[in-house]
Structure 1
Amino acid sequence: MSEYRLVQHRGNWSLAYDEEERGRVRVALGTPDRGLAEARARDLWKARTAPVSDKVKDLWTSYIADREAMGVTVDAAGSTWKALETTFGHKLGRAVNREDCREHYERRKREKRSDSTIRTELEYLRACLRLKYGKESPVLWMPPPSAPRDRYLTKTELKKLLSHVETPHVRLFIELAIATGARMSAILELTWEYVDLERGTVNLNPSGRHVTNKRRTIVPVRDRALAALVEAKKGALTDNVIEYDGGDVKSIRKAIRSAAIRAKVPCSPHVFRHTAGVWMAEADVPMQKISQFLAHSTTAVTERHYARYSPSFMVDAAKALNW
């Protein structure tokens, strides 16, 4: 069942969605008032997407429908569920325990998956169970968080990488990824409506977007990145800033990987975000500003990842211990 939407029919609002077997389904909400229709639609959708049982496989279906209704895309390819299904699909949600999580961990390690990948899978499972059970959700075991990433690009490496990029949309993505420190999804979802070329700002958190733990913010762009945006706007064919062949771009990982291989510069989309943080820290930008720029939840997160790159961080503390 797809994400629902509101449509007008004979003067009133209706809830509409698509089913694989029935095609388009429309349910009258009995009101011309948009606000009341939205409230009724939420309640109706919640009832229609409620899990048919307490088995994790049914809870997962309900969880995905809920996230999509909130405008959040969760694992559209289903790879996370494919990983979780073997261990948890047949279990009752309340019965999931720490030993099940460790069993999943051992199996995925035998399949050569990293700790960070496995932790992400279990975090999705935890969110799924919390949606159903709230505070009564079972406590899950998690592998420890991965150490902060160390791979970042020097300016020489970035120039070399760009020299091996063959398409304009990939070059523009890299320019924006470095200039904004944003995640791949934020840049690929960016539309021209939220780019202010006169003020030189990019709004990565447009109105109506459901706020997740992957926070976004409004950032200034200057010089090189701003010039790249001005040039791209002249030839824009769609509303999306990053476009290819008249359409939007869902993922750019393959293109980045190919350019990285040609340039012999190991790189992935997230490396650009980490590079932005490192460059700001190396320039002695205060941790609070880096935190706001990268939309971290707390300054402590920023310090854990980037303080070691700052020339002056804790220097005054070290001086205090001199005798």
Structure 2
Amino acid sequence: MGVLNGEDLPDDQFRRSARNPHQNHDPHSPGRNSRDRKPDRMSEAGKPRLCRVSGRDTWHIYHQRKRISTGCTDRASAELVLARYAAELSRPTTRAVSVTEILSLYLQDRREALKPGAERLGWAHKPVSAWFGEKPPEAVTDRECRAYAQKRMESGIAASTARTEMQALRAALRWAAAQKIIAECPNVPLPSRSPPKERWLTRDEAHALIDGCEAFHIRLFVILALGTGARVSALLELPWSRVDMDRRIIDLRDPGKARTAKGRARVPINDGLLATLQEAHAIRETDWVIEWAGDRVASVKRGFRAATIRAGLEGVTPHTLRHTAATWMAQAGVPLWEIAGFLGHSNTAMVEETYAHHSPGHLKGASRVLDMTLLQQFPVERVNTSIRKRQ
């Protein structure tokens, strides 16, 4: 007689018993012609349950007209075996699938759903797929993930980039588990967040960078980025149709894309930016604000790097211009909520964390309370006495 016991039966044999109750059943259990027909009808409509078998001391699991011994004589232990049996039944039936295939299926789903950021997701998947290859999801362990992140950072990749790639892997595995492609999602530890970058341009450095731009479209990009605080992608995707020079408004929001956590804003056009835009509009050849040789510009990295070299600037990237714009606003005392709105953020959390210390009034109220000269005007003894009198 087969015995279903949580302690003695190997896991693989237990799972086979749960999947196929016709195995390991009690040969002495009543058949279809037995007087015990009511439990048969109940088992057909319900879940597996515990039952007693005449002449046996052990509890049995009754399921699909079969009785499977738990090997337990006490009810509490039998309940544990029943719970394990039921859990095995509820586990989804999955097929063998590799990490690379999961990444591919997830990316395809994101593209078909027109989710924003699908292309960036594809770039993040490439190095992850190269590392894990045809390995199964079970190969995604804490140790393997940490080894991947360490290898990427040793190759010169920033910790933030390695973190983004691991986030993409975790999202794909969670999606696969939700779609029942895999039974469960393995844990994916993420590298620590990189500290906020402190590099920003002074006014003199900004003028030197503009003077170092030989190509007009690079110069236009720099002035636009400093005047709007927009992300690089928002400016390269900006058409003239969303630039209203009469009302002096630039709408950085793309109506064809869903709103993401990296929001975009409608920003006003200042005097200096207006003059540059009017100059660019007069000589335009395409519908795009940033253009070169009669075509839309896909990247400004090469031209921007050349401009920084001519200007003698180090550690400056196109994204530094957005950071510079926010820093200048904070230094000028612009309220943090207004800076957040200008940058396209829905709240001030990131702005407070990154730019609050640039504000001229940052923590000055707290510091003033601790000014030692106040103790001469309000001696501690007098304050303590007044407190006791009020009590």
* Superposition TM-score, scaled by structure 2 size: 0.65
Mapped to 2, the partners of 1:134 and 1:235 lie a distance apart of: 53
Report the RMSD for the aligned CA atoms in angstroms. Answer: 2.3
Over 3 Å counting, the alpha-carbon distance change for 1:209 and 1:77 in structure 2 is closer
Question: Which of 324, 331, 351 is the aligned partner of 1:282?
Answer: 331
- Deviation at residue 297 of structure 1 after TM alignment: 4.4
Question: Which of 299, 303, 311 is the aligned partner of 2:360?
Answer: 311
User: CA offsets, 1:82-137, max 9 Å, x none?
Assistant: 32123333233476332221121122233232212211211222233344335964
| Partner secondary structure for residue 267 of structure 2 | strand
- Deviation at residue 236 of structure 1 after TM alignment: 1.6
Runs of 5+ unmatched residues, structure 2: 1-94, 375-391
Match of 1:59 in 2: 102
- Deviation at residue 206 of structure 1 after TM alignment: 2.0
Mapped to 2, the partners of 1:110 and 1:84 lie a distance apart of: 15
The one-letter code sitting in structure 2 at the alignment partner of 1:167 is: A
Asked if structure 1 preserves the Cα contact closer than 8 Å seen for 2:125 and 2:168, the reply is: no
User: CA offsets, 1:129-155, max 9 Å, x none?
Assistant: 344335964432111111111111111
Question: Which of 111, 126, 129 is the aligned partner of 2:155?
Answer: 111
Count of residue correspondences: 272
The one-letter code sitting in structure 2 at the alignment partner of 1:262 is: R
Match of 1:184 in 2: 232
State how 1:125-164 maps to structure 2 within 5 Å. Answer: 125-134=169-178, 137-164=185-212
Over 3 Å counting, the alpha-carbon distance change for 1:246 and 1:76 in structure 2 is farther
Over 3 Å counting, the alpha-carbon distance change for 1:78 and 1:206 in structure 2 is closer
Question: Which of 246, 268, 271 is the aligned partner of 2:320?
Answer: 271
Match of 1:200 in 2: 248
User: CA offsets, 1:203-258, max 9 Å, x none?
Assistant: 11121212222221111121111221122112221111111111111111111111
Match of 1:242 in 2: 290
Over 3 Å counting, the alpha-carbon distance change for 1:133 and 1:208 in structure 2 is farther
* Superposition TM-score, scaled by structure 1 size: 0.77
Mapped to 2, the partners of 1:68 and 1:275 lie a distance apart of: 34
State how 1:26-175 maps to structure 2 within 5 Å. Answer: 54-69=97-112, 70=114, 72-75=116-119, 79-93=123-137, 96-134=140-178, 137-175=185-223
Question: Which of 299, 316, 320 is the aligned partner of 1:251?
Answer: 299
| Partner secondary structure for residue 273 of structure 2 | helix
Q: Does 2:294 match 1:294?
A: no
| Partner secondary structure for residue 262 of structure 2 | coil
| Partner secondary structure for residue 188 of structure 2 | coil
> Percent identity over the alignment?
39
| Partner secondary structure for residue 202 of structure 1 | strand
The one-letter code sitting in structure 2 at the alignment partner of 1:309 is: H
The one-letter code sitting in structure 2 at the alignment partner of 1:64 is: L
Asked if structure 2 preserves the Cα contact closer than 8 Å seen for 1:84 and 1:121, the reply is: yes
Instruction: State the structure with more CA Rg.
Output: 2
Mapped to 2, the partners of 1:312 and 1:76 lie a distance apart of: 39
Mapped to 2, the partners of 1:312 and 1:140 lie a distance apart of: 41
Higher relative contact order (CA 8 A, sep 6+): 1
User: CA offsets, 1:165-191, max 9 Å, x none?
Assistant: 111111111111111111111100011
| Partner secondary structure for residue 219 of structure 1 | strand
